[in-house]
Each structure stands twice: as structure tokens, then as C-alpha cells.
Structure 1
Amino acid sequence: MGIYAKLGRLLLAVVAMAGAHRGWAAGAAPPPLSLYGKLPGFERAAISPSGDRIAMVALHDNERRLIVVDRNNKLLSIQNVGNIKVRGLYWAGEDRVLLRRSETQSLGIGFTADKAEFSAMIVIPLNGEKLFSVFQGNNRIPGGIRGFHGVVEREGRYYGYFGGITLDESRGAAYLGSTSPVLYEVDLQNGRASRLANRVDSEQNWRTWLVGSNGAVSATLDFRSSGGDWFIRNAEGKRIAAGTNPLGGIDLVGFGETPDSLIYSVEDETNDRSQRWFEVPLAGGEAREILTDTAMAGTFFDNRSRALLGYEIEGDTPSYRFTDPRHQKAVDATLKAFPGRSVHLVDWNDAFDRLLVMTEGQGDPESWWVVDIKTKRADPLGTAYPMGSEAVGPMRMVRYKAGDGLDISAVLTLPPGRPARNLPVVVLPHGGPSSRDYPGFDWWAQAFASRGYAVLQPNFRGSTGYGVAFQRAGNGEWGRRMQTDISDGLAYLVKEGIADPKRACIMGASYGGYAALAGVTLQKGIYRCAVSVAGVSDVQKMTSTDLAESGRNPTLRRALKAEIGFGSDLRAVSPVNFAAEADAPVLLIHGKDDVVVLYDQSVAMANALRRAGKPVELVTLAGEDHWLSRSASRLAMLEASVAFVEKHNPPDPAP
């Protein structure tokens, strides 16, 4: 019997999701769209250093709350978080929870952009003291935090390290001289901020820091946009590494396996690896390349020493490598406790004997667990999408050949309880485009699968996770081979007998929204409808807007030119210029507060289609950002898109 074969009782009864839709009887109605469209019933969790306390963002009494419990399930704190956009959850010792949030704000006259997304860190004491936000009441540091560099304990007090935009002063008047952040140490007991390191000398350049376990800056990375030169200095100001990367592909990863060295990553345009990792002594010396045969998807660091503990290996499902055999044994046992599922390591205590994990996969709609290594128990915390396992559409990876012979992988999600034959299809390309899809629980895909559609999520060329050569194969291929990679996936499903070639729609967000528009303008005769959520319609305008908002940053200019192209190339792949060629109805959905792909992109496409006499609908999500961060907006998007697809590409009757 596996060490976690027997699951214990619920850790917290009030968080357990009641009323889940069980079973999938023939002819039964599918779960309501609200189950998929609202924010997850369980979003985030973090465990305290001792492992005795867990903080969670979850639904309780149908209200979104921050809940804190101890090891014995005693409720220590409950706070209503309403509709705020939660971006992170952390602990500072045993009696303070840090909640990171963001908010879209207008910038006013004099800025290169109209709006921006600002972050704040809320400090929530559990000892009865009043909560506060970092930099709250400090008129010299407006705009919240710009970067979070961890928490350090020193002499029984906890300090957080944050970047902050800082006003300059001249003749007694404060003014904004630079939007580059200054690094501050903030006492998390009283909120007092002390300047720790200065900002970079020009907004065309950028700087980041590595803070050590003593609360001092151990290393500083500077990047010069003009030519791509970079250098790393240690605490004494000595250069310990330097180089040139015109596209800005350089970053501090963290400390090495011991805190007397650091790891930095470089994207090498001449190498077959997307990222190369180098370790260099902090005192100075030769940098050596490490992990040359491993593709990393993430890293894990000790919360106290800040040394590297291990990393996640890139793959369709997560796998992990840790330097300490005891840590590796604990993680291996945890993976074995959930056979056939993807297991995501979320957090752990200092002793690494209580782990927080999220699982997903076949029959699993994102479940959250606390794993106790000593007692050999895995107890459920909650479920993101409360439904019976039978209601989860089965998903798997499929592989096919693109038109030029390139191997493409995709996630295929099928309707639960239906044979995979001659199905209507929703093709759902991902955003980015530098990202990828995995065989997990995707709320968009599952919502459409519950309505009887097969859903295909192609990892077309340009996607991450398949090596640098595959990612670079997407350079200059917007609307070209990246687009045909997607429709080649549909052709594969038809060949396999899974899909009906006459019943396919295409839908996506961000770059995926662009691909949806390109699928019915730059391509012809493939899709019965297209849904673009926050999609790009005018690639040339997008690049010019991004450049203008960056202050004509040379690094961004080089990166955009390398990835997408320039000039007439962009006009030739912009769907807005081919609205008259649209051969299927189009639904455009866009948040008014989008600061990544501006709302104007969808307005321009809607106007172009109307002028051409083409069927188009535009749904505006007031107060929503690029990421559909609010429940009401997510549900509105899903209801509109499902109704649109069902109208133009009806599913089969329920069996």
C-alpha cells in the first residue's frame, strides 16, 4: 500500500465545496456555465514556516475570502476579499500573511500610456493589529510596489524587500523623475521603509537585485538597452559576470546550492537551448554552466537560506529534482500518492515535511491538498471547480505533423460520456505566443467539452516547452506557419475520425484571439465562426503602441522585429486589413481596462467588419483587464462565447 493510499478527513470543513455536480447520467443537463466561468472556488494557498498554519483564498458562504487555519483546523482569521485581483499569497513568520493584489489605474497627462496595472502588498497581522499596505501613507513612493524580492527574518522581526517608484525633490517640490524602481527594506511590523539600493540611471535600462538571508543586497544585475550589454556586481561592487544580449534575455535566477554563489540565466541566440544557466561565486571567479541537459520549468529556493533546493523539469506533466535526498524522497512519495494526475508543488514549510500541492488531470477539476510526510496523510483542502469526476472531460496529449513536417503537440479535451467520433470542434490556440498548453483542467476547454464539443489546444511553433529551435521557428510566422500549424491540428482530428470537418469554430485570447481572427480572414473555408477575446487585429499598430509606451526602447524594438517582423510584413498579417475577406461570423470580447492589448484593437476590427458588411458582435467588459480577473467578466465572456458558438456551430443533442 502506498504511503498516502489512505486519505484523511477534510482539513477544513467550511472550505470543502458542497453541492458539487455528481455523475453524468445519459440525457442529464451539463453543469451550469457559472461553475466554470466564476473565479475558482479555491484559488491560492500558502503554508507558514512551521507548517502549523495555512492561508487560503477560497469561497466560503458563497463569498470570496482569505481564510487562515491552524494545524487543528481552528479558524484563526477570515477576511472578505470581494472582487480584488489577488496575485500572490505569502507568509512572514507565523502571525503575518502577505496578500499581493493589483488594480488598473489611469495615468493622466504626460505618460506614454493611458492606463497601467499597479500592484500592492497588503500585510495582514493575525494578532489583532491593524492591516496595512506596503508604502501606505508614504507620499514619496506612489503607485504601490514594483517587484517583490522576498522576506527575511532578522533578530525576531520580519522584513520585506520591495521595489517602489520614488519621487525626486527640487526646491521643496516633489516630482516624478523616473519610473524605474528603488529597492526598499520594509519592516513588516510597522510598515517603516528604508532605502536599500538606488534605481538604474536611465529608464531605457533596467536593474534587478538579489537579496541575501541577512537582508543585504548580495548582487545587482544591470542591463543596457542601447547595445544589450549586461553585468552583475556583488555586494562590494565587483563585477563577477558580464556579457551582451541584444534581446534582453538575461536574468538573476537566485542563489546556488549554497548562498556563496549565484545562478543567472542567459538566452543564447546561437545555442540550441532556450536558456543556459551559469553559476558564479559571489566573491568572483569563473562562471560554470550547469544543468546542461535539463529544461527547467521552475525553481525552488529555501525560504531562510535562499539557497537552491531544486527545480521543476519541463514536460507535459510536472516532475521534480531536489538536491537533498530527503526532499526528493518526500516529493517522489507525494507524486506516487496521486497516480495519473499532474501534481503541482505549491508551497512547503521550513522542515519540508508538510507540503501544499494542487492536482489536476483525468477526473480531477483542480484539487488542493496538504501532504504530511510524518503522518503519511494527504488531506484535501478544497476544489477549484466543484464537480464529480464523471463531469470532467477527459484530456490527453496528441501529436501530428505540420504541413512542412514539423512535429506539433496539442491538448485534446473530449466531451464526458460521449464517443469521440465525428464531433463538433472548438479550436482553442493559447496566448503569448511564448507559452504552451498542458493536459490539465482548463476552464474554457472544459466548459465547451461539457456542451458536447471536442476542444483542441495546439502548441504551434513559437510555443515554449519544446526547445529553442521550436520556439524560434515561430519568428516571423504570425499569420503564416503558426496559423497553419493550428488548422493542421484540425485536419489531424478529421483524419482520426474525431472531428466533423464541417463543424469547427476557432476561439482564443490575446495571441489566441489574433489566431481566431486570422483563421477567418487570412485563412478561408475552415471555421464556421471565430471568437476573439482581447485579441490583436492590427499587428502593426500593436508594435508601434508597445514601442511608444516603452519610450522607444531599443531592446524591445529588436525583440519585436526578431519575433514578429516590421513594416509591410505586419500589414500583411493584420486581420483588420482583411476584414472584407472574412468568411464566418466573428465575436469580439474585450476588457475596457486592458493594458496589454488595448481595447481599441477590437473596436477597430468591429468597425472594419461592419464597413465590409460582415456579421460581427462586440462585447465590452467594463472595468476588466487582459486576464479576465473578475468573476462577473469571466462568466460574461463564457456565456457570450458559448451562446455564439452554439448558434453558429450547434452541438449534437445530449445522448
Structure 2
Amino acid sequence: MQIKMLLGCAALAIMGTSAIANAAPPPLDAYGELPAVTDMAISPTGRLATIVELQGERRIIAMDHDGAMLINAPTGEAKLRGLVWADDDILLITNSATVSLGPYFTASKYELTGTIIVSTKDRDAQLVFSRTSSIADTTRGSYGIRKIDDTTVGYFGGIALDVGSGGPRFRHGRATLYAVDLARNRAKRAAGPPAENHYSDWLIDAAGNVAATLDVAEGDGLWRIRNVKGREIARGVDKTGNVSLLCFGKDGSTIVYAIEDQDGNRRWFEIPLAGGSPDEFLADVRIERTYVDRATGRIFGYRERGSTPKTVMYDPKVDSAVGRIFEAFDGRSPRLMDWTPDFSKVLVRTSGNNDSGTWYMVNLATRRADPIGDERSNILPEDVGPISTVDYVAGDGLEMDGILTLPPGREAKNLPVILLPHGGPSSHDEADFYWWSQAFSSHGYAVFQPNFRGSTNRDDAFRRAGYGQWGRKMQTDITDGLAELAKRGIVDPKRACIVGASYGGYAALAGVTLQQGYYRCAVSVAGVSDIELMYKTDLLESGQSRMTGRALREELGDPKSYDEISPRRFARQADAPVMLIHGKDDTVVPFKQSHVMADALKDAGKPYELIELEGEDHWLSRGETRKQMLRAAMRFVQKYNPTD
């Protein structure tokens, strides 16, 4: 299937006007701005909806099949996380807000998620549960959308309230499962909350029944799966709670669940809903993602991770169609984002070399792929720095890799370099367009994103190799990557800075405190500086959950050693200037982590800057503060590690 660059009316509304040519690199703000297209979704009959920025304003747009506008509404300051069609007339939009719940809660602020129901018929918008005074206006998980007797029903976790003369109060923090008539926004209880110090997960079958319930006891880690009749069909013990329900099997008579075995390997099992012996599911396959039917919750395919990724669909016709899509976009890092139930139309997103993020509507019947969304129209293909994967070996012999981004049009020789470790740390980087690394490469820097041990791009043994290695081997994995690039002559190791966010921010601080002699500067965005403080904060905010404590100790090691890996405790050893950037509304890594690091650097007489991002969260969700962060980080890096 050949990709055709043919734009219809609907595409033009979303694509906007691209820059014709860039004699000079794009302005820095072009990288720091939120993408012009945040998300897209396609309805069962092919209607399109998107969160898009038009003329400097973020909007929700929904269009009919012929491109006629159904909805065109501004979003204001709302932090929109995604959207999905519940049916042909109802959109569900996920948002979040940072809120304070008062003195009786363990955290000063929480990031609460809401689900907005938008009707294309009357253009009405309202939060799920807003018509039910006994349920808080926040959703705690989405468990599917089902068609029940011609009624579209959404299943959501919700927080029950006690309604009295003093106003509504939280009954407890455990989620109850509700079935919501989306056209009327009326909720009824589908399953009760778990017992105290337990948590639950649910699978909803095609008929709207709670077909499987997972219950996990936080105290001893005992977990049980029960079917619709309450019969126990599986059980086990995992003291860190690494068990979850995934989906139904392909014919709906089984369920698939995931556990972590005693060796730390994540394994999937399939078991009949009626009961029986579990069978291991896709035992020898490294799964990148699964494809699940939104109407039934049944798996219908998966994509296998590897040097040559493979997609398998159980329906031969769908398998053939999807194979043609991946062939057509070969070399563009395509991702299937949404599709009609018959797979006649598919939304595909691409990014990577020569591509700063593009959305396509693929019509299998006409064999056309039309670009309908450009995430960064001011960054042209020639502006995108070359992206590649670099394999290397750590000092102890462990094989790993990282993503290298080079400055456009410059020889890859003795370049100044930015080490940009990812957050998580249970995450990984891929050879895609990444706005932060591309911003630095556009200003003349090579950028290396190491997938250090503990990352999720390899097997379970590699992920678990990071346990207990914060500030230790996870840190030296980064400098081993720097050494590899220097060995190849690509970078000048004497002109290196380290920059990162979240765990990457921790690694940036550790790079100039726990390590010395590698970096000219460090920029930590929302980074952890004190491991003991993080441990105590996470434990407190979990309600002193023993399961949370065990999981933290498994990842971080013995609490007695936390001072040994805390950059704050080694501020006097800092051998390069430090910039600390942190959002005041961060609910993941509290602002206090940067504040105490700033105090330690000040007391030690070390050069540092602290930049507070007002109203910003952990994910840099605001366009203006994201650009503020990028400008500050670039200024700091250019000051201490100039390209010339």
C-alpha cells in the first residue's frame, strides 16, 4: 500500500499551515510547545475526534465522515489526557486536576482524574458521576464500555460518599465499581469495594457482567480471582502486589492474568472462567502491546517486541490488513492508535527520523493513507536530528543500548554531548522523535538517552538488574555509554552535561555528587535528591501500606543505605554547577525534594539555581511552563558547556 499525501477538508482543519522552509533551526519554543495534536480517536462508523491546538488555543474537535464539524470547543486550562468514542454520538475525554483535599489526607495535593461525557447531539458536557451526589466527581480507573440493550454503558471506579447535613464526606478511599448510563449520566453499583487493606480489579464481559474479580490483600500479598458466581478460579501470593487482570481470551470463555514469579519473571496465564488449570499464555513471546476488542474486552492480537517487530492478529483478514499498514510505514516507527471495529479505517501515528510526529487516516478499502495531523508543523523533516540506537557493554559486561540523536547537518565527530537518562526508572527510550533531545540537538549537541539496567526494553532479568542499584550500577551504566560514544569518536567526553527529569533528574544530581569528573553541569527537573525522604513520603501517602514498603525496599534496597545514594547528602562533593527545576503542583516527586537539595548546595557553597514552575505538575502538562523549563535548561547548559 502506497502512502499518499492527499488532504481532505477534515485533514486541513487539523493539519494547519506548516512552515515552508527553515533557513535557520526552528526557535526553541517550537520544541517546548505542547504538540499541536495531543490525541485522536475514531468512532465505530469512522467519525473523527481530536484534541488539537488551533491559532494558539487548545480545542476539542469532532467531525462527521464528510468533515463537517460536530464539536469545536475550547478546553481552557484543563489538562486533557486523552479521548475515546463510547459510541457514534458520545465522546469520553479524560482530564486531571491537581487538588488539595484538606488536613485529613496524607498528601498536601493529589492529582485526581475525571472523565467528561460529551454528546455530539446536544454538545452537552458533564463529568461522570456529576449527577449522583453520593459519588465523588472523580474516576478511579476505566473498565470498559459495553452496549447493553441498546444503551451505551461505561464502567468506572468511583469513590462513594456519605451525604449528610454537613455535606458529602469520603466514606473511604477504596474504589467501588459503577455502571454508568452514558447518555443520562446515571450510575448504579456494579461491584462493591474491596475490604479494608485490600484492592480489587475487574473484567467486564460483553453482556456487562463482572465476569472476573481480582482481590489482593496488602498485608500478606494473598491474591484470589473469582468468577461471576463468586467461585475462586485462581490464587497465589505476591507480597509486592505484582498481579493484574489483563483481558478475556479470544473467545471470551477464558481470562488472561499476569503475575511475577519467584524469580522475578513476569508471566501471563490463561484460565477458563468456569474453573480449571491455568495455561501459560504467550510464554516465549516478548509482548510490546496487546490489541483488545473495546466492545467485549477480548484479545484479538498482539505485537511482538524485537529487532524486527512482528504483529499477530487472530483474524486472518485483519492480520493481512495490519501487515500491509506496517509495510507501508516501514522506517517511520508506526503505531496503531485507534480503529473501526471492522478495521476498515485505522488511525496511525508515526515519528522518528525526518518526522516530528504525524497522524494518518488509513483507509484499507481505498488503500490510502492520508496525513491528517501534524504535531509540530514548525519542525520540518530536515530539522529533525538523526536518531539511531547505539549498543554498548557496561563495565560488568551487561549488554545494553541507548538512543543517540545528532545535530542536523553536522559531522558526528567530537561533539559536545548531553546525557539524558529517562524517568521511571522502569521505562525506556526508543528511536523516536523526542522534543527534549531534539531541542538540544538543534543547538549543536549530541544527545544520548541510555537504557540503563532497570529499563523495560529488554527481559525481566535486565529490569530487575536495576534493583538496589540507584546511584550505583544504574549510574555507571550512563557513564559507560558516554565512554562508548567517546571511543567511537562521536563525542568529546570533556564536554558533557547530564540532564533529566524524575528518576532522570535523580541521575543528573547523582552524576555530579555521587560521581565526579564526568560532567560540566547538571540539570534536574522534578528529580529526587533524598532517597530516605522519598521512601518515607511514599509510605506515608500509601497509608503505611506494607505492600508499598516491600515494593520500595525491593527496588531501592536496605533503608539503612539510603543516605549512601542520596545526592543531597553529598552536596559538598558536587563538582559542577546544578540547576534544579520543579513544578509546585508535583504530586509524584514533591517540590520539597528540590528545595532540600538547593539548601544543601547553598550550605556547601556550591553554584546552583532553583527555578519554581508555578501551577505545574510532574509531567510538564502546561505549555508555558514547559517552555520556561526548556529555556532555562538550555541557557544553563550553553553557559557551562558551550558548543563552540
What range is the shorter-chain TM-score in? over 0.9
Q: Structure 1: how far apart are the matches of 2:171 and 2:7?
A: 57
Task: Check the 8 A contact 1:318/1:342 in 2, yes or no.
Answer: no
Amino acid aligned to 1:67: I
Report deviation, 1:82: 2.6
Counterpart pick for 1:366 among 357, 362, 368: 357
Task: Check the 8 A contact 1:103/1:118 in 2, yes or no.
Answer: yes
Counterpart pick for 1:594 among 586, 598, 606: 586
Report deviation, 1:472: 1.1
* 1:103 alignment partner in structure 2: 97
> Deviations along 1:185-217, whole A, 9 cap, x unmatched?
111111111111100111x22101111111121
* 2:21 alignment partner in structure 1: 22
Q: Structure 1: how far apart are the matches of 2:608 and 2:231?
A: 60
Q: Structure 2: how far apart are the matches of 1:578 and 1:434?
A: 25
Report deviation, 1:312: 2.4
3-state SS of paired residue (2:637):
helix
Q: Structure 2: how far apart are the matches of 1:403 and 1:635?
A: 37
Counterpart pick for 2:338 among 347, 350, 367: 347
Q: Structure 1: how far apart are the matches of 2:395 and 2:517?
A: 17
Counterpart pick for 1:405 among 392, 397, 408: 397
Deviates more, 1:381-390 or 1:303-312: 303-312
RMSD: 1.5
* 2:282 alignment partner in structure 1: 291
> Deviations along 1:613-643, whole A, 9 cap, x unmatched?
1010011011111111110111111111011
Instruction: Note if 1:506 corresponds to 2:498.
Output: yes
> Deviations along 1:354-382, whole A, 9 cap, x unmatched?
00010111101111001000000001111
* 2:2 alignment partner in structure 1: 4
Report deviation, 1:176: 2.5
* 2:157 alignment partner in structure 1: 163
Task: Check the 8 A contact 1:50/1:351 in 2, yes or no.
Answer: no
* 1:565 alignment partner in structure 2: 557
Counterpart pick for 1:90 among 79, 84, 105: 84
Instruction: Note if 1:257 corresponds to 2:256.
Output: no
Report deviation, 1:296: 1.4
Counterpart pick for 1:282 among 273, 280, 299: 273
3-state SS of paired residue (2:11):
coil
Counterpart pick for 2:43 among 44, 48, 51: 48
Task: Check the 8 A contact 1:318/1:344 in 2, yes or no.
Answer: no
* Residues 463-482 of structure 1 mapped to structure 2, 5 A cutoff: 463-482=455-474
Q: Structure 1: how far apart are the matches of 2:109 and 2:604?
A: 31
* 1:423 alignment partner in structure 2: 415
Counterpart pick for 1:605 among 597, 607, 621: 597
Q: Can you give the 5+ residue segments of structure 1 that lack an aligned partner in the other structure?
A: none
Q: Structure 1: how far apart are the matches of 2:258 and 2:486?
A: 42
Task: Check the 8 A contact 1:22/1:389 in 2, yes or no.
Answer: no
Report deviation, 1:6: 3.4
Counterpart pick for 2:233 among 226, 240, 244: 240
3-state SS of paired residue (2:511):
helix
Deviates more, 1:462-471 or 1:160-169: 160-169
Amino acid aligned to 1:4: Q
* 1:554 alignment partner in structure 2: 546
Amino acid aligned to 1:41: A
* 1:227 alignment partner in structure 2: 220
Distance 1:535 1:21, change over 3 A: farther
Amino acid aligned to 1:278: F
* 2:260 alignment partner in structure 1: 267
Report deviation, 1:326: 1.2
* Residues 478-489 of structure 1 mapped to structure 2, 5 A cutoff: 478-489=470-481
Instruction: Note if 1:620 corresponds to 2:612.
Output: yes
Report deviation, 1:85: 1.2
Q: Structure 2: how far apart are the matches of 1:171 and 1:289?
A: 54
Amino acid aligned to 1:536: V
* 2:292 alignment partner in structure 1: 301
Report deviation, 1:21: 6.0
3-state SS of paired residue (1:15):
helix
Counterpart pick for 1:532 among 524, 529, 544: 524
Task: Check the 8 A contact 1:401/1:488 in 2, yes or no.
Answer: yes
Q: Structure 2: how far apart are the matches of 1:499 and 1:370?
A: 40
Q: Structure 2: how far apart are the matches of 1:644 and 1:121?
A: 39
* 1:645 alignment partner in structure 2: 637
3-state SS of paired residue (2:532):
helix
3-state SS of paired residue (1:12):
helix
Task: Check the 8 A contact 2:71/2:123 in 1, yes or no.
Answer: no
Q: Structure 1: how far apart are the matches of 2:307 and 2:623?
A: 29
Q: Structure 1: how far apart are the matches of 2:618 and 2:304?
A: 29
* 1:312 alignment partner in structure 2: 303
Report deviation, 1:137: 4.0
3-state SS of paired residue (2:537):
helix
* 1:206 alignment partner in structure 2: 199
Report deviation, 1:299: 1.5
Runs of 4+ deviating beyond 3 Å: 168-175, 315-319
3-state SS of paired residue (2:110):
strand
Distance 1:568 1:8, change over 3 A: same
Q: Structure 1: how far apart are the matches of 2:588 and 2:369?
A: 40
Report deviation, 1:311: 1.6
Distance 1:588 1:353, change over 3 A: same
Counterpart pick for 1:123 among 100, 117, 125: 117
Q: Structure 2: how far apart are the matches of 1:171 and 1:131?
A: 29
Distance 1:507 1:173, change over 3 A: closer
Report deviation, 1:32: 0.8
Report deviation, 1:42: 1.0
Report deviation, 1:140: 1.7
Amino acid aligned to 1:48: S
Q: Structure 1: how far apart are the matches of 2:200 and 2:529?
A: 33
Q: Structure 2: how far apart are the matches of 1:551 and 1:589?
A: 29
Task: Check the 8 A contact 1:37/1:631 in 2, yes or no.
Answer: yes
* 2:375 alignment partner in structure 1: 384
* 1:322 alignment partner in structure 2: 313
Deviates more, 1:547-556 or 1:131-140: 131-140
Counterpart pick for 1:357 among 348, 364, 367: 348
Amino acid aligned to 1:40: P
Task: Check the 8 A contact 1:317/1:342 in 2, yes or no.
Answer: no
Report deviation, 1:184: 0.6
- Count of residues in Structure 1 that have an aligned counterpart in Structure 2: 642
* 1:448 alignment partner in structure 2: 440
* 1:67 alignment partner in structure 2: 61
> Deviations along 1:32-84, whole A, 9 cap, x unmatched?
11111111011100000122x01011112221111111222222211111331
3-state SS of paired residue (1:558):
helix
* 1:178 alignment partner in structure 2: 172
Distance 1:533 1:105, change over 3 A: same
Q: Structure 2: how far apart are the matches of 1:423 and 1:348?
A: 43
Report deviation, 1:339: 2.1
Task: Check the 8 A contact 1:22/1:391 in 2, yes or no.
Answer: no
Amino acid aligned to 1:227: D
Amino acid aligned to 1:322: M
